[in-house]
Every structure is written in structure tokens, then in C-alpha cells.
Chain A
Amino acid sequence: MTVSRDDVLGLGMMVLAAAYWAAADRIPVSLLSDNVGADGAPKMLAVALATCSALLVVATRLRTAPAAGDEDGSPSDRRRGHLRAIGLLAGLGAYALLLPVLGYPLALALLIGGTAVYGGARPTLSLVAISIVGGVGFWLFFSKFLGVLLPLGWWMPGG
């Protein structure tokens, strides 16, 4: 018996439904609570999710044709593609971590330059200039024009 993508999804959603129910069960009961309670809707949703997930698994088992999915390219291409996506996501995560440390203008310039290079742009001086202009330009717009308080980083005056 082969395990299809929909099987994995269905089982994963059942686990999520169980975890969500367990989390809903830990919601404290308030004296101000109504008949439904703060945990009422979440528990109802957990049951609905588990039911739909079970239906999905059953439907997948009954279906003879493979489920439609994004099947472009060879398996190795797809694997490479997923790794590229994970890499970009890691870059965005690094930006979120570095933002309070390096400050907004520098972190954003690094994000712009890094993402462009990761996407295939050549690391030239003009790219460095575009990244710096981008970082400083966005900072001026949000900070000076919109009046948003953005972190400057330890290295900048006032940071």
C-alpha cells in the first residue's frame, strides 16, 4: 500500500485537530463565561477538522487515480526547488532576528542584496548601491515620512 500526499495531509490534520483540542481543553473557565464557553468554538472546529481529515483519507483510499498536485519537473528539480524556498525563508528569518540588532536600514539593505544574489543577480557594485539606496530609502519613507519608530541598531547614533 502506497502512502499518497493526501494521506499524509489527512493524518497530519488529524494530529493537528487532536493537539488543538488538547490546547482548547486547557483554556481556563471564566466566571463570565456563557453556555458555549471560550473552548466551545475551538472544540467544535477540532471535531470538524478531524472529520474532514478522516473523509480525505477515506476518499484518497477509494480513489484510483493519483491526486492532482504541483508535479512540474523531475523529482530532483522539485527537491532543489523546495530547498531554494527553504533557503529564502531562512533568509527572511535571519532578517527578523537581525532587525533589532543591526537596525532597520542595514538589515533591510542586507535583505535586498542577499535576496537578489540568492535569486540569481550578479554581486556587483551596482547591486550594493541599489541595496543601500533601498535600505536607506525605505527607512526615510517609513521613519521620516510616516513617523514609524524603527530600530536603528547599536552601531548608529541614537540606536
Chain B
Amino acid sequence: MDVLSSAVSALIGGWTLPAALAGVVWGILGGALPGLSPSVAMALLLPLTYGMDPTAALTMLAAVYVGAEYGGSIPAILIRTPGTNAAAATTIDGYELAKQGRAGEALGISLMAGFVGGLFGLILLTIATEPMAAVALAFTPPAYCALGILGLSVIASLSGKSLIKGLIAGILGLMIATVGTDPVSGVTRFTGGSPDLLGGVRPILVMVGLFAVTEMLTQISTPAWDKASHRDTRLKLPNFAMWKRLWPSQVIGCIIGTFEGLTPGGGGSIAAFLSYNEARRWSKKPEEFGKGSVEGVAAPECANNVVTATALIPMLSFGIPGSNSAAVLLGGFLLHGLIPGPMLFQKAPEVVYGLYGGLFAANILMVLVGIVILGPCLWLVNRPKPYLIAFILAIVVSGVYATHASLTDLWIVLAMGAFGYAMRWFGIPTLPMVLGAVLGFLVESSYRRSLVLSRGDHAIFIQDPVSLGLLLAALALTAYSVWAEFIKPARKLKNA
């Protein structure tokens, strides 16, 4: 009852509600700009929260996180450019739907799936913070490594027509992740002496290059590109029949998003890709995946938004920021003299419960703001193609440069764009490469830390129960994917 009354009083009095609205609007904008990550969008607002009431300030920062994770899906669907790392999985079927003239439907599904995920995560955050926080503590370096391997196991099902080419793409992504400072010894690798590369190649640059720039190069190279059909300009929210079809994929997104949100470092990207993969496996229409499946949009979007709430569980309970965004939020707490951890619930319960209320409002506002802005977004992408390509590239180069004011980032994106264009020509799938670039650092650093802990003994990976469970799951997932992709069709062909 305390939780409810504190949350309601925070919402009806003071600045919590306006702060949530401002945060959501800013977050959607920041998430939709390629290159600008949710954490950067939050960090830009951090100084503004200095003089604010703590509940309103933290609500605003958390609302940016909620808005940004949703906002990332808008360019992912409309222009094949994920605004955030976690939206990469949404591009697969979201953009295919847009190409079929169903962009409004895809945006509606992504909005409502995000809403369902956000609310589900918030309920868990409110009622189960204490017991679920224990999961975060069970994660040791071997478990992190196994988690990364579980994420990489999706490569098999993202490989499309050729598993070998998918593996090549995955390895190329992992190679990109080795650029920068070595996670154990601190030695620099493949930086060519450039200080800009010491921190590695940010996965979002790889994605923006491989998706946005490659798509624009492909569009302009297609002989009849300027005669491409125009699309729908109306947002279409899912009806009852659609909800009925989407609920299994949303349940999958909720379960995987919960688990990934609780594991510091897991994050929305792994959750989105795993959810996509599982949604395809359990779907009644798996053949539609990759060609414009509505479930392929709902599952990753739902998972993304669950993570925005459940990632706060280890942060609030132990002060462990599991992601960059959670770290910025942690900064917001510290800025207001609040130290996240078990004592936070005793010392400042009104702030925590007020934050819950603010997050609830942020999820509802996300839907309202989404409904208002998606119409104009759809209108914008239906402008004449020469102008559309020019402005998309202007957004891309500006967003990429603005984050770190770095020309190196810009060159990386252009190089990735050219590379992606060549990959398409060779028929290499791009998603495994993205997955490799996202997970490479996590896998390598935790693998080596584990071996440092065990003095080089690989048995540590099977002695740790969480690690063993995740590795077995990865093995099962890979075996199933190989069976579904190769053995099952071959048997069908033989029987026919």
C-alpha cells in the first residue's frame, strides 16, 4: 500500500509527471537519432536535473531510457537504421514490413509491444526487486562468458541461406570487437596508433554503417529505385485478432527480457536477438520471419522494453549498473545524495516508489507521444526519394559525428557502409556481424578473466552452475537451429 500511495502522490503532486513527459519526448528523439545512444541522451540531461526534486529528476532520466529504447525502433522500421543497439533485431522484419507498405502496422506493433514489455518489467520491478536481485549476484565471469556465447549461438539462425557465410560474418564482427585496448593486459590492438580507437569500435557505428549507409547505397544503385512504391502513412495499432497472434511472442519477449535485464551486462541487444530467435522457433508461421513477420517485430521490442525496467533491479538493490544507461541513472542518484543499495529502500522509499510511479507514467506517455509523432514520421519517409536519401544521410552523418565530435567515427561508418554493400553483393548476412561486434568484447574479456581466476583451468566453465546452464542452452539452441535449417528441409525433400 505504501508503494502505491507514494507512487500516486508523486504523480499527482509536484513535477514528476511533466518530468516523465519531457524525458519520454527527449528519449524518443535521442533513440531515433542514429549514433546517439540512450545513455548519451540521458547524460545530456543529467546536468539539468541538478536543481530538481530527486523523484522528478530520476523519473526524467528513467523516462529518457524508456523513450530511447522505444525510439530506436522507429528508424529501424522506417529506414533500416537501428537508433539503438537493441533495435538491431527489429530491423529484420520491421523494415521488411515497411517495404511491403505496412510501416504503420509495424510501428503500431512495436509501440504496443514496447508498452506491454515496459509495464511487465515495471510490475516485476515493483513486486519482485528483492528476490530477483539475487540473480545478479549469481553472475560470475564464466557466466558472463556463457551468456555471450548463448547470444552468439543465434548466429546459426540468422545466417539465412548459407551457414558458412553467417559464420564468416560473425567472425568478422568478433574481429571488429578486438580493436582497441586489450581487456586484461591493457595493450593496444589494431588501433593503427589512433587514440580514437583505444576504446574500440562502438557497435552502434557498425550498425549505422551496415544498415543505414549500406541501405542508401543499395537504394541509389537500384535501377528503378526512384519508382519504388509509396507506403502507407497511417499508424495502425494492433486489433484484437493481431493481439491474439502476438501474445506468444510477447510472452517470450517478457521472459527473456526479464532474465537479460537482471544480468548486468546482458542488456537489450542479447534479449532482442534471443527473443527474435525464440519467437521464430515457437511461431505457427516461422516461414514469415525475415520476410516481414509481425511477431518478429513484437518479440524483440517487448524484450527491449522489459529490460528498461528489470535492468534497474540490480542497480537499485546493489548499486550495480548493468548497462551504460543504468550507470547514468546511478549518477543521477549520487547527484542527489542517494546511494543505491539495500539501504535505499529504508532511507528514501518515497523516491524509489515515486520513481516507480514515474516509470508507469512514462510507459503510458510513451504510447501517447508515439501515437502523436509516428504519423508525421510516416509522412516524412514518404517524401520523394532523392530528398529522403539526402536527409537520412544528413541525420546519419550528423548523429555519428555529434556523439564524440570524431571524424574517425564518421570514417568508420562510411567504411562499414561500403563493406556492407560488398557483403550484400557476396550474399553475406549482416546480422551475425552485428551480433559479433556487440558481444565480442563481453565474450573475450569474461573468458580471459575466468581463466585468470581458475589459473588456466577450463573446467571453471562447467563447474559454475549458471555458466553450465547457459552453455547447455547455447548448445541446444545451435543444435536446434542447424536441425531446423538443414536436416529438417533435407528430410522433407527426401520424403516428397
Using a CB–CB cutoff of 8 Å, the interface residues on chain A facing chain B are 5-6, 8-9, 13, 20, 23-24, 27-30, 32-42, 45, 48-49, 52-53, 55-56, 59, 67-70, 72-73, 77, 80-82, 84-85, 88-89, 92-93, 95-96, 99-100, 104, 108, 111-113, 115-121, 130, 134, 138, 142, 146-150
Contacts and interface: CB of A to CB of B under 8 A. Distances in A.
B178 A36 contact: no
29 contacts: A6-B426, A8-B426, A9-B165, A13-B168, A27-B189, A32-B185, A38-B182, A38-B184, A39-B189, A41-B174, A56-B162, A56-B168, A59-B164, A68-B427, A77-B223, A81-B221, A81-B222, A84-B220, A85-B220, A88-B216, A88-B220, A99-B410, A111-B390, A111-B393, A120-B386, A121-B384, A134-B391, A146-B44, A150-B405
Given A32-B186, A41-B444, A52 B451 contact: no
B190 A148 contact: no
A49 B172 contact: yes
Contact of A111 (B217, B394, B407): B394
B402 interface: yes
A48 B171 contact: yes
Contacts of A53: 168
B167 A52 contact: yes
A88 to B, nearest CB: 5
A121 B175 CA distance: 40
B240 interface: no
A34 B183 CA distance: 11
Contacts of A96: 397, 407, 410-411, 414
B414 A42 contact: no
Contact of A34 (B384, B391, B426, B448): B448
A121 B383 CA distance: 12
A45 B175 contact: yes
Interface residues of B, number: 61
Contacts of A24: 189
Given A32-B185, A148-B402, A92 B223 contact: no
Nearest to B192: A23
A81 B401 CA distance: 28
B220 A118 contact: yes
Contacts of A118: 220, 386
A104 B394 CA distance: 11
Closest 6 A/B residue pairs (Cβ) = A119-B386, A81-B221, A30-B185, A121-B386, A38-B182, A115-B390
Contacts of B414: 89, 92-93, 96
A112 to B, nearest CB: 5
A35 B427 contact: no
Contacts of B418: 89
Interface string B411-449: 100100110010011111000000000000000100110
B285 interface: no
Contacts of B186: 30, 32
B213 interface: yes
Given A38-B185, A89-B414, A120-B385, 14 more contacts: A9-B428, A27-B182, A29-B187, A30-B186, A32-B186, A34-B448, A45-B171, A59-B164, A67-B427, A70-B427, A88-B217, A92-B397, A96-B407, A120-B386
Interface string B153-184: 00000000110110110011011001000101
B440 to A, nearest CB: 8
B187 A38 contact: yes
B137 to A, nearest CB: 25
Contacts of B185: 30, 32-34, 37-38
Given A36-B448, A68-B427, A77-B223, A138 B398 contact: yes
B389 interface: yes
Contacts of A100: 407
B389 A33 contact: no
Contacts of B402: 142, 146, 148, 150
Contact of A108 (B190, B217, B385, B398): B398
A92 B187 CA distance: 33
Contacts of A45: 171, 174-175, 178
B164 A55 contact: yes
Contacts of A73: 223
B189 A38 contact: yes
Contact of A99 (B217, B395, B401, B452): B401
A93 B412 CA distance: 11
Contacts of A42: 175, 178, 189-190
Contacts of A113: 390
Contact of A149 (B161, B391, B405, B407): B405
Given A38-B189, A111-B397, A150-B405, A130 B387 contact: yes
Contacts of B226: 119-120
A129 B441 CA distance: 46
B83 to A, nearest CB: 15
Contacts of A33: 184-185, 187
